[in-house]
Structure 1
Amino acid sequence: MATQATQGFLARVAGKTKQLFALVISTGAADAGKIVATGSDGRLDATLMPVGIGANTIIAAASEAIGAGKFVNFYSNAGALGVRLADNSNGRQADGYVKDAVANAAAATVFPLDTTNTALTGLTPGARYWLGTAGGVIVAALDPADTANTGKLCQELGVAKSATELVTDDLGYVVL
């Protein structure tokens, strides 16, 4: 017998006692009136929340493979909103980030700046970070006096809260 991930309860159904389990994910109106449970992360799934309540995210088609925690850039892809890796070397400012890896042509869930990117590694708590190349971060701002940086973007992204969390800011960018 398979084990249920949620707690069960006893209920009277059609005059008989039956064991039921709480919902972790909703399929919509068919699940109306049912008892809900938290998922393996201890939180309610977004499908169980009222319309308008949930993560502040934007869904867009990825035009390349994007790794977890990478900063991304929105752009017009044949008239539709697309997302690609942000990069300080080619004019692609960071508009947000992804927490989960995304395959090329798949739907990317993008979190906006001014939130916490929890999908990074190797950060130093308290250190500030700037946009690097290929959606990555660097620990120092680009030097505007260095002619090798002419035309590159200098965009401060935020401060590390821990080795894996960057509290981002939407501070804009400067073209050097």
Structure 2
Amino acid sequence: KEGATTTKKRKTTPQQAMFSMLLRVRQACNSGELVSASHFERASAIMDSVRDADGNVRTVSANEGNRMIDMLTNSGSTKISAINSSNNNSDALESNRNEEIDIISNNDTSNEYQQNTKYTKDKNNAEKLCVESRSPKVCALLNSIAEMAKDEKAVIFSQWTSFLDI
């Protein structure tokens, strides 16, 4: 028959099937549902604080970025300044104290962050931020492992198992 095409079905190898399943697990692990509601609310409020009147995200200075990181990683009550689009200096977060918004976090995994924020200077004497902290996902994972009975076992699918020192 002219014009007829035939297609061959490729046989999937066990390695390909396993790789496909691992990719699906990885996609599931990146789900936003794994981020606590209070952490999401804090992040949303911080992002709203750097939007101009038109709703566009404005450019922030390194100092403002560092303060935003500090606000995200701090537990307990966090104050976030609402920044006007006209106020674009590096001390904008501190200069708008009269427009502060209180955000109280719930007792979630964010209280268990182990932060170690360091400021280093490079060869040009420019300040750089180095943050070593655990994400809410990693904190939740470590809490789940800690709560397991000694005779329980768990399987962790991750490309970062060396990071977790497992």
Task: Please state which structure has a larger fraction of its residues in helix.
Answer: 2
- Give the TM-score, by structure 1 length: 0.26
Structure number, greater radius of gyration: 2
Task: Please state which structure has a larger fraction of its residues in strand.
Answer: 1
- Give the TM-score, by structure 2 length: 0.27
**Which structure exhibits the higher relative contact order, with contacts defined as CA atoms closer than 8 Å and separated by 6 or more residues?**
2
